[in-house]
Amino acid sequence: MNIGLTGGIACGKSTVSAMLVRRGAILIDADRIAREVVEPGSPVLAEVAAHFGQDILLPDGSLHRKKLGEYVFRSEEARRKLESLLHPSIRSLMKERMEASERDFPDKLVVVDVPLLYESGLEGMFSHVMVVYVPREVQLKRLMARDTLTVEQAEARLEAQWPIERKKELADILIDNSGAIEETDKQVELYMLNRGLL
């Protein structure tokens, strides 16, 4: 059995994925895969540099994430172009790892952490989608604190994703992470118990 795990930026997906892993789930992290596909010398990184310019590369040939971020957070068109370059390789690797995990560990829950799951139309890849939720004002506050951003910078990052309320409506499983960490943990525990995974 597998689930897609998503939410909004600064909603606490990492916290919830760690809780699931502690209870025996296998985690596949789409962000980690996204970093792998743009390692120095990779064909995907070469394509990204060819499109966005060589200034998105650091002297050692690795990706200058901050510089690339400046382009994509400013322009919807740039973000779409970047996604079209990255997503095919990310999806293919994600699917490969999901299938291998399900084959090798048939009695375990396979959790795939995908930040832009709904935005990328990937819900069909999973048995269920779990959304980690906090209200937008909490999300904004946490994001500003976590990344030391101004209100404007944090708002721009939130605007780059679907509103958290929309994701909440679409969720098969909802984990509300706006309270104490113990409350979130209880919800995860209950989910695993109800699925017969504990």
Rama region for 161: left / alpha / beta (φ>0; ψ in -120 to 50; rest):
beta
pLDDT value of residue 79:
87
- Using alpha carbons, select from 118, 84, 114, 110 the residue that is nearest to residue 20: 110
- pTM of the predicted model as reported, rounded to 2 decimal places: 0.86
pLDDT value of residue 130:
98
112, 147 contact by CB (below 8 A): no
pLDDT value of residue 120:
87
43, 49 contact by CB (below 8 A): no
55, 39 contact by CB (below 8 A): no
Sign of CA dihedral 99, 105, 106, 110: negative
DSSP 179: S
Please tell me whether residue 57 adopts helix, strand or coil conformation: strand
Here the tokens at position 143 are 């994001």
pLDDT value of residue 169:
97
Q: How far is CA 22 from its chain centroid?
A: 19
Alpha carbon distance 134, 164 (integer Å): 8
Alpha carbon distance 48, 72 (integer Å): 12
Q: Mean pLDDT for each consecutive 10-residue tract of the chain (198 residues)?
A: 95 96 97 94 95 94 92 87 93 96 96 92 95 97 94 91 96 97 98 93
End-to-end CA gap in the chain: 14
